[in-house]
Amino acid sequence: MPAHATPGRPSGCYVISLRPVGGHGAVRRAAAALGARTLALSPWRIAQLDDDKARSTLRQALAAPRVVFTSPAAVASAAALQALRPRAGQAWVAVGAGTALALRRAGAGDIESPARMDSEGLLALPSLRDVQGVDVGLVTAPGGRGVIAATLASRGARVLRANVYERVPVAPSPRALAALRALDAPAWLLLSSGEALEHVLATLPDDALARLRDASVVAASERLADLARERGLRVAAVAASARPAAMLAACSGAASKP
């Protein structure tokens, strides 16, 4: 079946993952469970920041009454710098279940996370609604999820940002480009990061980009779905969250429709 055909079912199709270098394992497992193959198209690699500024800003962020962690990578990088132990009276929150799990594994205990695992869901949590005059620590990386800091600031919070890792852009690998050009079955593009999408669209050669545009997008949120449409991509479904299992479930649901 040609790559531009409408996917009829995930089995036999490709799933295009825009996760960081080395971060495609969960997508591969979820896709394989449905009989789909994974094409890894990493826009960047994760690099931990380990300098005086990272350590100092992290100490300040973790001392705030409310602390937000934006990804499992943020948890791993922060834990490498100091122990993650909430103090009495603090509210630590995670953007999603995966980040909350990483915090529990790091010894932080039970951490609140939203049912809707994206920036909008996080900002709807009761602990982040009334933050006028409150210090809020944000453990994250430069760029990405700018809506969190901007919204908290608009609500009157003093955002104490700790960048504990960075995303180092990487060029598309020759192997990924060859696989994209040679797609011989329908493809689903899993979209959980607007920054990742923008990077990939800007760096792919024209012929590979044309093949990517043939894919049906499954977005992790309505905001990301709107971004994909603005970039001329075809959105097939919006998943319940950015977790690979939820994204692949959305693929299955979209594939079952006429």
List Cα–Cα distances, 111 to 35, 44, 114, 164, 227, in angstroms. Answer: 34, 28, 10, 19, 30
DSSP-derived pairing of the beta strands 165-169 and 44-48: antiparallel
Q: pTM value?
A: 0.84
How remote is the C-alpha of 188 from its chain's centroid? 16
Q: Which CATH architecture has domain 47-167?
A: 3-Layer(aba) Sandwich (3.40)
Tokens encoding 46: 């994760």
pLDDT of 5 strictly over 50? no
Q: What is the CA radius of gyration of the chain?
A: 19
Domain regions of the chain by residue span? 14-43+170-255, 47-167
Q: What is the DSSP letter of 112?
A: B
Average pLDDT for 203-217 = 96
pLDDT at 107: 94
How would you label 121-151 residue by residue, b for 16+ Cβ within 10 Å and e otherwise? bbbebebbeebeebbbbbbbbeebbeebbeb
* Alpha helices (runs of H) in 82-163, residue ranges in sequence order: 97-105, 119-123, 146-154
Percent of the chain with pLDDT over 90: 78
What is the Cα–Cα distance from 196 to 24, expressed in whole angstroms?
14
CATH number assigned to the domain with residue range 14-43+170-255, chosen from the 4 options 3.20.20.120, 3.30.70.2860, 3.40.50.10090, 3.90.870.10: 3.40.50.10090
Q: What is the pLDDT of residue 3?
A: 41
Give which of 251, 254, 24, 238 is closest to 116, Cα–Cα. Answer: 238
Fold identical between 14-43+170-255 and 47-167?
yes
Whole-number pLDDT of residue 7 = 44
3-state secondary structure of 162: strand
pLDDT band at 134, cuts 50/70/90?
very high
